[in-house]
A and B are shown apart, each in its own frame.
Chain A
Amino acid sequence: MADITKDQVKHVANLARLAITDEEADYYADKLGAIIEFAEQLNEVDTEGVAPTTHPVPLINVLREDKPVPGLDRDLMMKNVPEHEDGMVKVPSILD
């Protein structure tokens, strides 16, 4: 099994803004370890001098005319916002 330690799992979870318990860290270390080990078979492939693909079909510099168009209505955009006040999105305290 590929090594992904419990501490690495906790680190990655924090980067992804996921809260995980100690028990879950064990579970995901096993699960992710198996997937990463599987992925490591890519090391068998000689990729010397191969360019990475970022996009499956060739598309370069997609531009359009810089023309203003009406956006969505602000009140409408608040429709799915869990908490808002005076047309502004409300969040909890940013600093502890």
Chain B
Amino acid sequence: MTLFNKSAKELQSLIHKKELSAAELTAESFRRIGAVDGDVKAFLALDEERASARAKELDNTPMEDRGPLHGLPIGVKDNIVTEGLETTCASRMLGGFDPIYNATAATKLDQAGLVTVGKLNMDEFAMGGSTENSFYKKTANPWNLDYVPGGSSGGSAAAVAAGEVPFSLGSDTGGSIRQPAAYCGVVGMKPTYGRVSRYGLVAFASSLDQIGPVTRTVEDNAFLLSAVSGHDPYDSTSFGVDVPDFASALTGDVKGLKIGIASEYLGEGVGDASKNAVREAARVLESLGAEVSEVSLPNTKYALPAYYLLSSSEASSNLARFDGIRYGFRADDVRTLEDLYKKTRSEGFGDEVKTRIMLGTFALSSGFYDAYYKKAQKVRTLVQGDFMNAFEDYDVIIGPTTPTPAFKLGTQVDDPLTMYANDILTIPVNLAGVPAISVPCGFTEGLPLGLQIIGRHFDESTVYRVAHAFEQATDHHKVMPEIREVQA
């Protein structure tokens, strides 16, 4: 059993009635991690001593000064730097890296009174869709331990699904929050590009990366996004718009809303289970009074190849900083500076990271730049245009989050193009910079499926409103996986 089948509101109400304290909740998180993480393997590092001390301190805050997340434990993806808590990006390259400052998102967690209990596993430098590219461990899907949790925020989704923490932060460059959220049956939001500061998020592809919340319920997700959003002087791409109280958008009312089902998202390469679950979700939304019809996003199939060229190009530049000089891994037995760079990078990076660095370097290199990089940037404009056109007639667009449910560990890791195809329905959203959420919408063969809801730039409120109305009309979010607890 875990206490974290309850929502933030339910936990707060227990705290207000003095039936529970922040200290007890944090202790419960570590107890549950001790009991199930040997199987789930979601956490890379734990911060028990500091977290316990902080939770005790938070119990002294007067009740009237507490926000909706005050005193609750949270896990953080390991590419978000946390002062004094090892941050590795699941890479050998950053083994032992001890950050000297907090990411802005981490600072905002502190300000909201959340207690960071530890760091969550991921694909190395967020490159991958199964968390199998972690240098340290392979996280399992809590619904079936033989299956992947998705990725790259696989630890963030698995830890919430397994009830180790009520919430976590992930990051999403091409689907890395939504895809694992779908695979693990939890709620994952990729906010509008610029909604959450990227300061202290170890950069993968800077024009695509966004931090976002992973939670059990839509309401908790809305609370957490409000807590971490906002303009940050340390990130000039964070947008200077007001941060709404997203939870106030959860009216349950979707009457008259215009919802488009993306035809291409029910097309080639998408499995029947995903299609059927989304068609059923459309019927639910219709029964609530929304107007649902099909809409075309004609450039969808070109988003995936464009994404791999763009994200890898940006990565090849961003990851140039890992050179063995100022932080992280440093190779031994080198004679010159050039040797040091090469040996450090060759030994410190894993295969997928090297592949993408070389792909990006190739796409940016003289003679190939126009044909690959610039071409992909133009296709990106067309993909974005598809959404802008659709949003003239529709309030949100829906489709499956992923073409299939989670796959078995070890079955795709040697086949990059098959692995990349799991993200065909999430990648267009990052290219366009718009917000999108994945909410549980059913099961197939015991594994969860996700409904993706996509909104206009900076209109997370409508996305949340639709997600919440759907969630409240269905029971998918009430089921938790059964995981055997072992005595630590």
Contacts and interface: CB of A to CB of B under 8 A. Distances in A.
Contacts, number: 166
A72 to B, nearest CB: 6
Greatest chain B CB density within 10 A among A36, A47, A57 is at A57
Contact of B330 (A32, A47, A51, A82): A82
A96 B358 contact: no
Categorize the interface residue count of chain A.
35 or more
A32 B380 contact: no
A53 B380 contact: yes
B101 A38 contact: no
Contact of A92 (B192, B237, B339): B339
A57 B365 contact: no
Given A19-B342, A19-B343, A35 B359 contact: yes
Contact of A15 (B239, B339, B365, B430): B365
A83 interface: yes
Interface stretch (B221-229, B261-269, B273-281, B320-328): B320-328
Given A72-B101, A92-B335, A54 B379 contact: no
Categorize the interface residue count of chain B.
35 or more
Nearest to A77: B100
Contact of B417 (A4, A17, A38, A40): A38
Interface string B26-52: 000000000000000000000000000
A6 to B, nearest CB: 12
Interface in B325-346: 325-328, 330, 334-343, 345-346
B237 A59 contact: yes
B28 to A, nearest CB: 33
B376 A42 contact: yes
A81 B336 contact: no
Nearest to A95: B336
Interface in B452-488: 457
A94 B325 CA distance: 13
A91 B340 contact: yes
A56 interface: yes
B165 interface: no
A66 B336 CA distance: 39
B305 interface: yes
A10 to B, nearest CB: 10
Contacts of B330: 82-83
Interface in A4-22: 4, 8-9, 12-13, 15-20
A12 B362 contact: yes
A54 B358 CA distance: 21
A42 B361 contact: no
A52 B377 contact: yes
B432 interface: yes
A89 B416 CA distance: 39
B384 A79 contact: no
Nearest to A46: B382
Interface string A18-29: 111000000010
Given A20-B346, A94-B336, 16 more contacts: A13-B358, A16-B361, A17-B338, A19-B343, A19-B346, A28-B354, A34-B417, A39-B306, A40-B305, A53-B378, A56-B193, A57-B192, A57-B239, A62-B236, A72-B101, A80-B100
24 contacts: A8-B362, A15-B361, A16-B316, A16-B320, A17-B338, A19-B342, A28-B358, A31-B416, A32-B359, A34-B416, A36-B359, A39-B376, A41-B301, A41-B305, A42-B376, A45-B378, A50-B381, A52-B378, A55-B237, A57-B433, A59-B194, A59-B236, A81-B327, A83-B330
Interface of A: 4, 8-9, 12-13, 15-20, 28, 31-32, 34-36, 38-45, 47, 50-57, 59, 62, 64, 72, 76-77, 79-83, 89, 91-96
Interface of B: 97-98, 100-101, 192-194, 207-208, 233, 236-237, 239, 299, 301-302, 305-306, 308-309, 316, 320, 323-328, 330, 334-343, 345-346, 349, 354-355, 357-359, 361-362, 365, 372, 374-382, 384, 416-417, 430-433, 457
